[in-house]
Structure 1
Amino acid sequence: MIEDIRIGLGFDGHRLEEGLELKLGGVKIDYPKGLKGHSDGDVLLHALTDALLSACKEPDIGQLFPDTDPMWKGADSRVFLMEALKRVKEKGYMIMNVDCTVVADEPRIAPYRKLIEENIAQLMELDPCRVSVKGKTREGFCKDDSVACFCVVLLVKA
């Protein structure tokens, strides 16, 4: 039946700033700048969280974890992902695959790709073959000195 399959799309983007730690997909990236955000700024986990929430017709990350709430200041984005995963399971869905594209000129994603994929797979309790992460350069898409991420997820009724 058609309602047994759901697709979700998530997007996030933040500017890079000196002196902040950079995390992508929950992995610390060796880079002199980090992503400026209310939480830890992990655009990959934010986009992935929104994709999961969207696929199961739940409120988005901004509604669940508003940047106006001091409780979420500096929060680890894994908390957001865990809440989205809980909601997916409560609605009776399982994750078939995850596909994420990080858009940035710097830092390069390729050296961290496998580690990020493995970390996401572990966080989501998925086989790593179900998680794809790739990097693309901006090609004029977003502001210089920023990182954006698109994620798509496919859910099926368990």
Structure 2
Amino acid sequence: MIIPEVGIGTDVHAYDASRPCFVAGLEWPDTPGLAGHSDGDVACHAACNALFSATGLGDLGSNFGVDRPEWSGASGPTLLREAAARVRAEGYSIGNVSIQLVGKYPRLGARRVEAEAVLTECLGAPVRISAATTDGLGFTGRGEGLAGTAVALVYRG
């Protein structure tokens, strides 16, 4: 019997209006970008963290952190593809990943299906994404940043 393993991952970035916005593998024109070592794509970063958590491969920082200059400026999809390759190299298959964005923007609704298609292609497994606001509460509600949380289901063998 193959037993699934589950990982959870979170990522948060502050908005930075001087940068373009990339979230869920898509560019979001007229939306402030996200600060970070890479492109700040919290959806992809949370998914990477969930995959690494499920497989015991560390986290985003230990795999792609600021001490790794080769990942500076990397796109979220690039990191997600690499995370999937590392997970598979350890003998795991990926069942699926579910991502929840929390923040004022970007407004995911109209592009949700497009985002799911891009992330599914990057991962080589189904990805579902949704979004929520915090009704004005906390840093996400004040429009200071965007958070993402993901859950990954993987199988050994």
One fold, TM greater than 0.5?
A: yes
Could you tell me which residue of structure 2 aligns to residue 47 of structure 1?
46
2:18 is matched with which residue? 19
Q: Which amino acid aligns with 2:102?
A: V
CA deviation vs aligned residue, 1:20-74 (integer Å, no higher than 9, x gap): 1111121111233101111111111111011111111102110112224433322
* 5+ residue gaps, structure 1: none
2:139 to 127, 138, 142: 142
Residues of 1 paired with 2:151 and 2:8: CA distance? 5
- Partner SS state of residue 39, structure 1: coil
Amino acid at match of 1:74: G
Percent identity of paired positions between Structure 1 and Structure 2: 31
Listed one character per residue, the Cα deviations across residues 61-120 of structure 1 (whole Å, up to 9, x for unaligned) are 101122244333222222322221112212222221211000011221111211110001
Look up the equivalent residue of 1:89 and give its one-letter code: R
1:78 aligned onto 2:77: yes
Distance in 2 between the 1:9 and 1:55 partners?
7
Aligned-partner residue type, residue 132 of structure 2? K
| CA distance, structure 2, for counterparts of residue 95 and residue 68 of structure 1 | 28
For residue 6 of structure 1, report the CA deviation from its aligned partner: 0.5
CA contact (8 A) 2:31 2:106 kept: no
CA RMSD of aligned residues (A): 1.7
In 1, the alpha carbon distance for the partners of 2:5 and 2:31 equals 39
State the AA in 1 paired with 2:35: K
Q: What is the rounded CA distance, in whole Å, between the counterparts of 1:32 and 1:85 in structure 2? A: 28
Whichever residue aligns with residue 39 of structure 2, its letter is D
Number of residue pairs matched by the alignment: 154
Q: Is the 8 A contact 2:77 2:119 kept in 1?
A: no
Gaps of 5+ in 2: none
| TM-score relative to the length of structure 2 | 0.89
SS at match of 2:58: coil
Indicate if the aligned counterparts of 2:9 and 2:150 stay in contact, CA closer than 8 A.
yes
Query: 2-side partners of 1:81 and 1:51: how far apart?
Result: 11
> Could you tell me which residue of structure 1 aligns to residue 114 of structure 2?
115
1:89 aligned partner: 88
Give, in whole Å, the separation in 2 of the partners of 1:150 and 1:16.
17
